[in-house]
Amino acid sequence: MILVWLLLIPLIGGVMAWMFSGLSRWIATLAVLIDLVLALQLWLSHPSMPIQPVQGTAIGAGLAWIAEVQYRWIPLLGASLHLAVDGFSLLMIVLTLFIGLLCVWMSWHDPVSREKTGFYHFHLLWLIAGMVGVFMAMDLLLFYFFWELMLIPMFFLISIWGGAQRKKASLKFFLFTQFSGLFMLIAILALYVLHGRQTGLYSFDYTELLGTTLSREVAGWLLAGFLLAFLVKLPAFPFHSWLPDTYTQSPTGGVALLAGVMSKTAAYGMLRFALPLFPEAARMFAPAMVILGVAGILYGAKLAYAQSDLKRLIAFSSFSHMGFILLGIFSMQELAYQGVIIEMVAHAISITGLFFVAGMLQVRLQHTQLDAMGGFWEYMPRMGGVAMVFVMASLGLPGLGNFVAEFLILAGAFQVHVVWTVLASLGLIASMIYSLVILQRVFHGKSKQTLTHADLKPLEGLVMACLVAAIVWIGFFPQRIVRSVQPVVQQLKQIAVKQNNSAADYEWVWNDLTLFK
């Protein structure tokens, strides 16, 4: 029942925030805080779960759930309200609620959110509920429902509370994500029909569909439908054209949830659904996905360095780091899988911190143009200090969470893709350049204007302190995350090529890309 409450509390809280607009910030804070406490209690009480392999079942079928609930939904179609969580799911839910709580707190000092305050927090809470639902859904139709539910509040957050070009940005975001999501729905329906014809049982349940027998060609097409939705949402090269406008025009709370958590729902979907449902097809697609990941790392770094707007620079830096996640997933190595999951968390925290800094500067300056900034350390030393922490995290400084994640990804990928891993490591050098540009052009150099009382306010300081503590904790104690997700990593290892294979063993995969012949 606790899983149902994790969904209902933000949904009910959103409606109450809309109804009682004057108390909306307090209602939103209370709703997310209660949810966070429930999720943390569940996660911390189950540090790890054993794998329980079941003979004769498909990959991933033996994974034990920490909590599970299932209700009838559309029995005629074989759809149910099947919610379940393991260490991986709970980790992402805790991350969602943690960042969501900080977004609510940041709204107290964001003048944008003072317009239609109750309506703003309604969409913020429903966005959080949609993402929590994505991480709990074990029925593919239900998963798609929450996948699409996320888009609606995000669309309104951008179109109502966004920047000057918010209409264009919100429409582009909605069309890209909605259109790509339809391909995933087609793939889900096709898998549903094929499974029903084979077994006589028509079901959208994930554990049932894992046993579906598919030819390589059919599995390839179905995986392509899932991947299109995930690659757009991540985003990955070359499906990223919606990203710069959307990230730049979004309000601070919206862009933090979008870049910090919503993009991670795509990586979660790949690890939870795409690879276990279509293991042979995943190996077939792996070389192409690795190339796209490396291309995104390098291309995103180049674009980030060329930006004159702080929010666009941070947006492209986020796009570049998503390439590491794609590289790690399709390297199909245990170390890389561990690194991917840590990167999902560490990047969410560091990119949220950077966008919060950009948002606070935008409130004080009414713009985010780098050419008009400089010398702000004199007036905002505390903000400069926390900005330096997240800049260092972005460039992969040892002792912070991003370093651990990217090291594990590259160490895992190097075992099978030496050349591509070397090229990806060049992205770390590029990230040092564009990350230090933020610190230099914003906080150092000659001051171009005088600012008074511009440093962190108490609530802003509390928010940034929470983020700093989280990124440092991950950097020094990543074992807690690794232990909680190890059962998932072990399941994913069954999909991978054996670790003692060389890169040459991938030639059969590369030569058999039948979808592109």
Position 113 scores a pLDDT of: 80
Grouping H, G, I as helix, E, B as strand and the rest as coil, residue 161 is: helix
* 499 alpha carbon, distance to own chain's centre: 27
Q: 330 vs 73, 283, 371, CA distance in Å?
A: 34, 8, 39
| pLDDT in single tens digits along all 517 residues of the chain | 899 999 999 999 999 999 999 999 999 999 999 999 999 999 888 755 444 443 333 444 445 789 999 999 998 899 999 999 999 999 999 999 999 999 999 999 888 888 899 999 999 999 999 999 999 999 999 999 999 999 999 999 999 999 989 999 999 999 999 999 999 999 999 999 999 999 899 999 999 998 788 999 999 999 999 999 999 999 999 999 999 999 999 999 999 999 999 999 999 999 999 999 999 899 999 999 999 999 999 999 999 999 999 999 999 999 999 999 999 999 999 999 999 999 999 999 999 999 999 999 999 999 999 988 989 998 999 999 999 999 999 999 999 999 999 999 999 999 999 999 999 999 988 888 888 889 999 999 888 777 878 899 999 999 999 999 999 999 999 998 998 898 888 888 876 644 334 333 433 333 443 333 3
Q: Is the pTM for the entire model greater than 0.75? A: yes
Please provide the distance, in angstroms rounded to a whole number, between the alpha carbons at the two ends of the chain.
Answer: 49
Check residue 368 and report its DSSP letter: -
Output b/e per residue, 240-272; b: 16+ Cβ within 10 A: bebbbbbbbbbbbbbbbbbbbbbbbbbbbbbbb
Q: Which of 341, 342, 352 is nearest to 389 (CA)?
A: 352
For residues 424 and 324, the answer to whether their CB atoms sit within 8 Å is yes
Position 63 scores a pLDDT of: 59
Position 490 scores a pLDDT of: 85
For residues 132 and 268, the answer to whether their CB atoms sit within 8 Å is no
